[in-house]
Amino acid sequence: MHGRVLDHLGTAICGGELAAGAVLNIDELVDRYAVSRSVIREVLRVLASMGFIETRRRVGVMIRSADHWNVFDPQVIRWRLASAGRIAQIRSITELRTAIEPHAAWLAAQRVDHDDASELVGLAAKMWAAGKAGDEERFLRLDIEFHQRVLRASGNEMFVKLQDLVAEVLIGRHHYHLMPHYPHEQALQLHAEVAQGIQRHDGDSARRAMVQIMEHAFEEMSSIWEQTLHDPHLA
C-alpha cells in the first residue's frame, strides 16, 4: 500500500502532473488513496529524503524543483522513465555513461585480475550468442551484467555506485521499446573488443571500444529523439 502511493506520487511529480511549488494536503491524500495518515506521512518522509518535497511553515508540504531531486536514486530513475520525460532521462544517463564507462574500461584493464577478465570475455561471448538467437530477455540480462562488471572491475568505488543506474536505464530502454529488437552485429563485436582489451590489459583498446558502444547507443536513440519532435506521445 505504501509502495503504491509512493510510486503514484513519485511518477506524478517526475512527469510534471504535480509541479514544483504545488502544495500537498495530507487530508486530501488520505482521501484520494484511501489510506491512513501514517501511510501518507511515511510516503512523504521518503519523498523528502529524495529531495522531492519540503515542509514550509504556514505553507505546508511543497513540491521542490527537479534540481533538488536525488537523480541518481534508482527509484527516481524508474519514475522518470515511467513519466512523459523518459526520453530526456535516457538522454541524460547516456551522456553520463559516455563520460564514465570508457574510463572505467581503461581502469579495468589496469586493475582486473585473471578470473574477472575471463568472466568478462565469457559474458561477451554469451551476449553474442543471445543476440544472434534473438533472445531479447537473455541479452538484456547479460548486457546489464557486462556493464556492471566493467564498473566493478574499474576498482573505483564511485563508479561502482553507478551499477543500479546503468541497470535501470537499460531495463527502461527495453521496457519502453526504445531500442532495436535485435542488437546490431557491430554492438556485439564492440562488447567483445572491450572484454578482450581488458583481458590483455590494453586500456586504450578497451576505452576506444567502449566509446564506440556509447556512440552507437546515441545513434540508436537519435532517431527516437527526433520522432518526439513530431509525436509528443513518444517523449
Separation between Cα atoms, residue 74 and residue 174, nearest integer Å: 16
Q: Are both 2-68 and 74-234 of the same fold?
A: no
8, 79, 130 from 82: Cα distances, Å: 10, 5, 27
Separation between Cα atoms, residue 94 and residue 166, nearest integer Å: 9
Average pLDDT, the chain: 91
**Position 222 pLDDT exceeds 80:** no
Q: Which of 206, 25, 222, 233 is nearest to 101 (CA)?
A: 206
Collapse the DSSP code of 22 into the 3-class scheme (helix H, G, I; strand E, B; otherwise coil) and give the result: coil
pLDDT tens, position by position, 127-171: 999 999 999 999 999 999 999 999 999 999 999 999 999 999 899
Collapse the DSSP code of 55 into the 3-class scheme (helix H, G, I; strand E, B; otherwise coil) and give the result: strand
Q: What is the pLDDT of residue 217?
A: 82
Say yes or no: domain 74-234 is CATH 1.10.10.10. Answer: no
Question: Are 127 and 191 spatial neighbours (Cβ–Cβ below 8 Å)?
Answer: yes
- What is the pLDDT averaged over residues 56-70? 94
**Position 184 pLDDT exceeds 90:** no
- What is the pLDDT averaged over residues 18-30? 95
Between 35 and 183, the more confident residue is: 35
Question: Which distant-in-sequence residues (6+ apart) come within 8 Å of 146 by Cβ?
Answer: 120, 123, 124, 127, 191, 195
- Identity of the amino acid at 2: H
Helix (DSSP H) and strand (DSSP E) numbers for the chain: 11, 3
pLDDT tens, position by position, 78-117: 999 998 888 888 889 989 999 999 999 999 999 999 999 9
The structure's pTM equals 0.86
**Position 13 pLDDT exceeds 80:** yes
If one looks up domain 2-68 in CATH, what number appears?
A: 1.10.10.10
Separation between Cα atoms, residue 163 and residue 101, nearest integer Å: 11
Question: Which distant-in-sequence residues (6+ apart) come within 8 Å of 218 by Cβ?
Answer: 94, 98
Separation between Cα atoms, residue 122 and residue 26, nearest integer Å: 53
Kindly list the domain boundaries of the chain, sorted by start residue: 2-68, 74-234
